[in-house]
Structure 1
């Protein structure tokens, strides 16, 4: 079951990336450089953005099931809970659309920001434990996990800098997307590592 759920997570990730690319190629008033990805959930791209978000929730859920089956990993229980929290966040995220730049912040918009900050923090903090789990395996999978972890770290720092008013309207979208892509690929590598080892770390 662990390897089956890992395979499912990989398949869902591929579909998710296809939708993510589609989201940025359809006609919309948003710029990948200046606007947050969450802006696409407001306006003409709302349905596509919602589908992507719910697919992401399913991906986290599949990974939670896979992590639960890693009996040799002492962090398995905590990882499972954190992945379930991520799945829950993405399941409810469409009900809390963001407040667009220039508009007055609403309670729903504030809730969206809290959920977004929460998932960014949880996904990255858990990635550190996963990287240490994969490292002893060596090879290309461990190298990929290590590289993507640091790519996520650098982009997360850049994202925090881009929040500053001086940069927010100019380039916020770039570091955000860099973080999203690197962290999604990191968890895809996690799923691939489970498949490669048969879940026996």
Structure 2
């Protein structure tokens, strides 16, 4: 299979996740801890359907990374598709990472109470809440960054960009190292989430690059 052949499987999974997420009972994915008006809230967990979708997304993602490269066409002229692909990828990244690492607080709460529950919520603190929160956040955030950096390193589209028919490639002879891909991912998230700090309109129209591409030596090309 070529990378472009994964468009429909990912679209079906995306539609399925959205549908099931709206029909199923609300469930905590990951972990939250907060103080509000003097009240402590510590909640977390996962759900069987979310774990199943995480496995399916992970399998499709892995197959996409080893699929045959599709033929590249002209550079992608605009940036709207790239912005839209970011948010599609954001959904996939959360659904692939959060259900897995949401198991961590479940297991920890199971050991504390002796009762296993897929999700929990309590209004009092317990020993170890801080390190569980830190570990879950660190692993989840790292997993999300790797989700975007890995396709850049291997010259493959992300699930979101494969749906929209393009991929990011390097514009120079320097290889896309892990450090370069990781930094581009971090800055790219800022560019997508905070356009008032990193305006999309500042771009080189002739080379089909905006400032993020110029900094990291990349550009977007259409896939056939």
Shorter chain as denominator, the TM-score bin is: 0.3 to 0.5
- Give the helix-richer structure, 1 or 2: 1
Query: Which is strand-richer, 1 or 2?
Result: 2
TM-score normalised according to structure 2 size: 0.36
TM-score, scaled to structure 1: 0.39
Larger radius of gyration: 2
